Amino acid sequence: MIQRGRGKAFAVTTLVAALSMAGMANAGVTDQDILNDQMTTDDVVSNGLGPKGQRFSPLKAVNTDTVKDLRPVWSFSFGGEKQRGQESQPMVKDGVMYVTASYSRVFAIDVKTGDELWEYNARLPDGIMPCCDVINRGVALYDDLVLFATLDAKLIALDSKTGKVVWKKKVADYKAGYSITAAPLVVNGKVITGVSGGEFGIVGKVEAYDAKTGQILWSRPTVEGHMGYIWKEGKKVENGISGGKPGQTWPGDLWKTGGAATWLGGTYDPDVNLLFFGTGNPAPWNSHLRPGDNLFSSSRLAIDPDTGKIVWHFQTTPNDGWDFDGVNELVSFDYKDGGKTIKAAGTADRNGFFYVLNRENGEFIRGFPFVDEISWAKGLDKNGRPIYVDDNRPGNPADVDGNKGKPVVAIPSFLGGKNWMPVSYSKQTGLFYVPSNEWAMDIWNEPVSYKKGAAYLGAGFTIKPLNDEYIGVLRAIDPKTGKEKWRYKNYAPLWGGVLSTAGKLVFMGNPEGYLMAFDAETGELKYKFNTGSGIVGSPITWEMDGEQYISVVSGWGGAVPLWGGEVAKRVKHLNQGGSVWTFKLPKEDA
């Protein structure tokens, strides 16, 4: 009896072990996997290497000593005739890489070999209206689904094994100028997305859907005056007007086409259980048509992930007149001040100022310029509100001949001190690594009226470099003091994301095609490799079978060649492409 009992117990244990191993091999991505992503180095299952968006990895096999031996193990081409900008961040789970490409394509790739497992190609209508290239910034993973959004403003869930569509939802009307380019964000089973279209007078919003079924859960407009909704047992219920009521910070009916596009997606901080989404310019660009702060344009919003309520907001550019979209990512970090831990968040705005906020309540802690020159503001007041230089706001056409207002030279240009390309915050050095650009623009206002599906700017512009030798500057910035610890100057404007690692390294690509690695403390360039086309994507790192891998997407494009004026002429020799590269150390070094 005793022996039989023992034997049975042994058999059960073995069976459990076998089941859990089988389960691991086929495990889908869980909420916990996403929350723990930064520390689980064998996969990358969130945009930003963790929902806080720090883009920091504890891996250190590739470090300041070994990185010189880094070499490519495979390169995968996105193929087809469709190239243009490739701004994706790949994901890696259970030996498979999921990466998006231009024109709303998704690829699944065997990370050991670089072999294609499947491709999904969204069939886009002819009438799509992306403002700034046909890019896509990546997928989200949840359970056995690969979630991504398209240039015709749909959210799509694919089977991670086959690439077949599981569900598809229309988020907004592409014929009114909406599109989506950001990677969705998954928080506790909800897939959360914003929308693009601020140049077409759309109304920005953030929406949550059930990740497994695609059922909408809540919708939160980001322009004051619009009603939010929540779905209870499938029924649509009013959930409060954004900002309380219309007309408080907008004149007349302009709030009805107010912009504030949430086009870069968001981050999530489990410590305070808040989503952080930024909002773009108020529409139209001509600020004289809309006196007032124009909430919630050019702002950072903290949103309750369960209800879609706006918990706090911080507006970086009230009554924006320069297209200083406030979409840039808000990255959580903690620091000690007199023995007290401050729950902070940092963000480098298009307008040239870096802001440190209290992420619990949105209070302004400090702000400072992170670019060399700012023309439109003298500085920030104690609440973080800009102190405007009135003469440097583009003039009102009504003050002159009614056709063209007084032009001004504005620094930074509307492409921003920093644009979409994500920063990295290193937990090892406590520094932010900010991919920035030094450029100016001539800008003037013109009359404009809203027409569905047409550009709604009321402004003209020409972007110009400020220096002959460089436009891009990668900066290492101490968020506690505003001091710049080091900088790396790049001839072409920087347009790709940054990754920092515990190997005391900072990785970034440039439009000239190089994947580069810098010493995180000194800024010394330790490694570079040319990927054959410009890099405007964001690098990742993970480990497999005891070896550390680095991957990055290559393919020049994005807003600069389309809108860059004099700058675009300087970089017109750069060739398009479309591929993802994967690197590691030779085995003997690992």
Residues identified as active-site:
323
Q: Coil, helix or strand for 90?
A: coil
| CA 324 remoteness from chain centre | 16
Residue nearest to Ca ion (CB): 40
| Cα–Cα distance measured from residue 156 to residue 166, given in angstroms and rounded to the nearest whole number | 8
Smallest distance, Å, CB 209 to Ca ion? 23
Strands 266-269, 274-278: pairing is antiparallel
Site string for Ca ion, 255-284 (x = CB under 5 A): -------------------------xx---
Smallest distance, Å, CB 9 to Ca ion? 35
Helical spans, DSSP H, in 135-259: none
| Binders in 178-207 for Ca ion, by CB under 5 A | 198
Smallest distance, Å, CB 371 to Ca ion? 18
Taking the C-alpha atoms of 36, 40, 42 and 47 in order, what is their torsion angle to the nearest 10 degrees? 40
Task: Rank residues 249 and 281 by Cβ distance to Ca ion and give the closer one.
Answer: 281
Task: Rank residues 198 and 497 by Cβ distance to Ca ion and give the closer one.
Answer: 198
Task: Rank residues 204 and 384 by Cβ distance to Ca ion and give the closer one.
Answer: 204
Q: Identify whether the C-beta of residue 557 lies closer than 8 Å to the C-beta of residue 135.
A: yes
Longest dimension (CA), the chain: 103
Q: Point out which span in 33-41, 134-142, 310-318, 582-590 binds Ca ion (CB under 5 A).
A: 33-41
- Contact partners, residue 249, CB within 8 Å, separation at least 6: 224, 243, 292, 293, 294, 295
Smallest distance, Å, CB 298 to Ca ion? 9
Task: Rank residues 323 and 349 by Cβ distance to Ca ion and give the closer one.
Answer: 323
Q: Identify whether the C-beta of residue 49 lies closer than 8 Å to the C-beta of residue 57.
A: yes
| Cα–Cα distance measured from residue 64 to residue 289, given in angstroms and rounded to the nearest whole number | 53
For residue 120, list its beta bridge partners: 106
Place of tokens 């110009």: 464
Task: Rank residues 427 and 487 by Cβ distance to Ca ion and give the closer one.
Answer: 427
Smallest distance, Å, CB 328 to Ca ion? 12
Supply 426's token pair.
Answer: 């290193």
Smallest distance, Å, CB 97 to Ca ion? 13
CA distances from 550 to 90, 225, 395, 506, 523 (A): 10, 46, 48, 12, 19
# binding residues, Ca ion (CB under 5 A): 8
Task: Rank residues 259 and 523 by Cβ distance to Ca ion and give the closer one.
Answer: 259
CA distances from 366 to 38, 436, 479 (A): 27, 19, 9
| Binders in 320-379 for Ca ion, by CB under 5 A | 323, 325
Task: Rank residues 40 and 75 by Cβ distance to Ca ion and give the closer one.
Answer: 40
CA distances from 513 to 501, 539, 549 (A): 21, 13, 19
| Binders in 37-66 for Ca ion, by CB under 5 A | 37, 40, 43
- Contact partners, residue 332, CB within 8 Å, separation at least 6: 52, 53, 54, 267, 269, 271, 343, 344, 345, 359
| Cα–Cα distance measured from residue 170 to residue 216, given in angstroms and rounded to the nearest whole number | 10
Smallest distance, Å, CB 44 to Ca ion? 6
Supply 483's token pair.
Answer: 């001091």
Task: Rank residues 83 and 287 by Cβ distance to Ca ion and give the closer one.
Answer: 287
Asked if 438 interacts with Ca ion (CB under 5 A), we say no
How many of the other CB atoms lie within 10 Å of CB of 525? 12
Q: Identify whether the C-beta of residue 441 lies closer than 8 Å to the C-beta of residue 413.
A: yes
Site string for Ca ion, 280-309 (x = CB under 5 A): xx----------------------------
Of 127, 267, 274, the residue nearest 183 (C-alpha):
267
Smallest distance, Å, CB 34 to Ca ion? 9
| Binders in 499-558 for Ca ion, by CB under 5 A | none
Where along the sequence are the contacts to Ca ion (CB under 5 A)?
Answer: 37, 40, 43, 198, 280-281, 323, 325
